[in-house]
Amino acid sequence: MPAAAQMTTSSTSTSPSSSSAPPLIPLLPETIGATAKRSKKNPRVPSEMPALELHPTVGEYPVDYTMHAENRGKVINRLRETDGVAPRGVLLLRGGLAANRDETDHEPVFRQESTFHYLFGVREPNCLATIDLETGKATLFIPRLPAEYATWMGDILPPKHFQYSCVERFIESPQSA
């Protein structure tokens, strides 16, 4: 069985923007101990096992979004090397669209379009983005949702939520009629 790396919890809360992450502790038989005491709540789990520290807002590990800026740089360089591509162009990319199940108010779990996620790291649906091939600057266009959206789908995220560190600027799109 492969060993899984777990993160230890710290006694102080850490913000997603903190620069130092807690140390990773591999869960190997040597670190847990072959005769480790078992937890009373779950006898299969050793009580010494460190708990996961999850990202406070989305329930996942924090992501360094500079990776997506590097990915965009690779694509821009490849396009610049390609014959027939204008050096002063702009790429327009559309992210995945939210879908509804017919005859219900249910939305299936959203999965971002792969290329859009690779280049921007955006998790939310219905976004557009541009990349200026000359400067490499990225612009993210986010949807403006009507107030009624909150009644059925929960809180509307503020524009600040969409300020991914890898994007130079973002623009809230006009509300659709």
User: How high is the pLDDT of residue 33?
Assistant: 41
Whether 6 and 89 map to the same domain: the answer is no
User: How high is the pLDDT of residue 18?
Assistant: 46
Which residues lie below 8 Å from residue 41, measured CB to CB, with a gap of 6+? none
Domain span holding position 38: 1-62
Q: How far is CA 116 from CA 43, 53, 112, 136, 152, in A?
A: 43, 28, 7, 16, 27
Closest CA to 163 of 17, 4, 14, 10: 17
Whether 91 and 134 map to the same domain: the answer is yes
Whether 167 and 93 map to the same domain: the answer is yes
Residue ranges in the chain modelled with pLDDT below 50: 1-19, 24-39, 45-56, 177
User: How high is the pLDDT of residue 109?
Assistant: 87
Residue 96 belongs to a domain with what CATH number? 3.40.350.10
Q: With contact defined as beta carbons under 8 Å apart, do 96 and 129 qualify? A: no
Q: Is 81 exposed, middle or buried (0-12, 13-18, 19+ CB in 10 A)?
A: exposed
Whether 16 and 92 map to the same domain: the answer is no
pTM of the model as a whole: 0.59
157 within a domain of the structure (yes/no)? yes
User: How high is the pLDDT of residue 148?
Assistant: 87
177 within a domain of the structure (yes/no)? no
Whether 52 and 80 map to the same domain: the answer is no
